[in-house]
Amino acid sequence: MTARTPSETARDIPEATVARLPVYLRALTSLSEAGTSTCSSEALAASAGVNSAMLRKDLSYLGSYGTRGVGYDVDYLRYQIAREIGVTQDWPVVIVGIGNLGHALANYSGFRSRGFRTVALLDADPARTGETVAGIDVRPFDDLEGIVAEHGVAIGVIATPAPAAQAVADRMVAAGISSILNFAASVLTVPAGVDVRKVDLSIELQILAYHEQRKAQDQQQEETA
């Protein structure tokens, strides 16, 4: 069963490492634009805000792209990471729910520059349909299946109110989308093989509030001590 074809690079990069690769990629792009051609793990780790040992271990999962005593070639490493993540090719993306957040996302240029191309903006509200945001027409949600098939869309973004999110996700999955980025504050249930990542602003704020409260308590305790 375990066919194990050691075709190109060995797979199985740890999830925590995958989450940091884009940060390294960004740091390398920065360095490259600043004209730096070579950098040490120490320098790159500082740019990325991590420990240098962790950086080296992360990079070692991709292969041996550094030179001992010298460091890493910025552009070469940048290409290798980009290839590993898969952003050397363009990924078509659809955004569903063109309200406050959907508008911001559609207008966000960081998308395009990092290998993601917004091919459609969809909304269920007929009043929204026909509007043009960032040069792209807002189309009815029912166009989803056609657009996904036409462009081979694999990644969908949900920016609808929470109650609509599960239904939208179901339609996306049925249409053939297998990766979803969810901004709605709700837990999505999807079949195996479909990846979901969530971004929840209010959760982030609550985590900050917890630590803030702790700081206040600690300070109070010091005062009474």
| Binding of residue 132 to DNA (CB under 7 A) | no
Tell me which stretch binds its own copies (CB under 8 A): 23-31, 35-43, 55-63, 142-150. 23-31
**56 contact choice in DNA, its own copies, ligand NAD, none (CB below 5 to 8 Å, kind-dependent):** DNA
HSE-CB of 162 using CA atoms within 13 angstroms: 7
3-state secondary structure 85-138: HCCCCCEEEEEECCCHHHHHHHHCCCCHHHCEEEEEEEECCCCCCCCEECCEEE
Applying CB under 7 A, which of residues 32, 40, 47, 179 lies at the interface with DNA? 40
Q: Rule CB under 8 A: which of 102-131 touch its own copies?
A: 103-105, 107-108, 110-111, 114-116
Binding string, residues 58-97; x marks residues near its own copies by CB under 8 A: --------------------------xxxx---x-x----
Among 47, 52, 179, 186, binds DNA (CB under 7 A): 52
Say which DSSP state 71 is in.
E
Contacted by 53, from DNA, its own copies, ligand NAD, none: CB < 5 to 8 Å by type = DNA
Asked if 72 is part of the footprint of ligand NAD (rule: CB under 6 A), the reply reads no
Per-residue HEC secondary structure of 134-197 comes to CCEEEEEHHHHHHHHHHHCCCEEEECCCHHHHHHHHHHHHHHCCCEEEECCCCCCCCCCCCEEE
The residue ranges that bind DNA (CB under 7 A) are 14-17, 40-42, 50-54, 56-57, 59-60, 64-72
